[in-house]
Amino acid sequence: MIYTIRTTTNADPSTTIQAIARPAKRKALMQKTVRLTAADRKQAKQIAAATIEFIDLQSRTTNPEGSFDNKKRFSPSQRFDCCRTIRTPSAAFPFSLLVHARTATHVASAHGIDPAQIKSLKRAMEKAEAENVYICLLRDTLPPAQFAVILRRERPAIAETLAIAEIKKNK
């Protein structure tokens, strides 16, 4: 739909301005569909899994894989390039690698993806969870333990949907 806007000061047809209405823009955007390949879907699942793992590590729902020695120093089960710059655990700082293993950089290295993708998806998930009326209602009515169980069940679907949307947006 195109609207024709005429200026009120001059009735000359040469001063006619045409503006494209917003519904026409939306329709044009809706007609453009992006097909996802199997590799894109696999990448979306991988980003979603890494983001959920990162959120669980940050909220301390889960702990990083690794072990403690007899002096209570943590050592991760796998070391990546990102771990080289972190100080080795000592008696004064026994959890330096434990804290690092909870970061997006370490989780991204473990999954072989970019840390920016994890952080971006985490922000999008937090926004989606905050705007979702269903989740807000559950948060307000259920005890925290029950809400955590439901959220853990819903998060993978939310994460995968948002990861697919990010991949479509970047294509």
Q: What is the pTM of this model?
A: 0.71
Considering the domain architecture, whether residues 70 and 147 belong to the same structural domain is answered as: no
Considering the domain architecture, whether residues 52 and 121 belong to the same structural domain is answered as: yes
- Domain boundaries, position 71: 65-101
Considering the domain architecture, whether residues 44 and 121 belong to the same structural domain is answered as: yes
Two structure tokens written together for 133: 């009326």
CA angle, 130 as apex, 117 and 134 as ends, to 5°? 120
Considering the domain architecture, whether residues 122 and 51 belong to the same structural domain is answered as: yes
Judge whether 30 and 168 are in contact, CB under 8 Å.
no
Judge whether 106 and 100 are in contact, CB under 8 Å.
yes
Considering the domain architecture, whether residues 134 and 57 belong to the same structural domain is answered as: yes
Per-residue pLDDT of the chain (171 residues; tens, 9 = 90+): 443 333 344 444 444 333 333 444 444 444 455 677 888 888 888 999 999 999 999 989 899 999 999 999 999 999 999 999 999 999 899 999 999 999 999 999 999 999 999 999 999 888 888 887 777 777 788 888 888 888 888 888 888 888 888 887 777
Structural domain total, the chain: 3
Considering the domain architecture, whether residues 51 and 125 belong to the same structural domain is answered as: yes
Cα gap 45→28, rounded to integer Å: 29
Cα gap 47→64, rounded to integer Å: 18
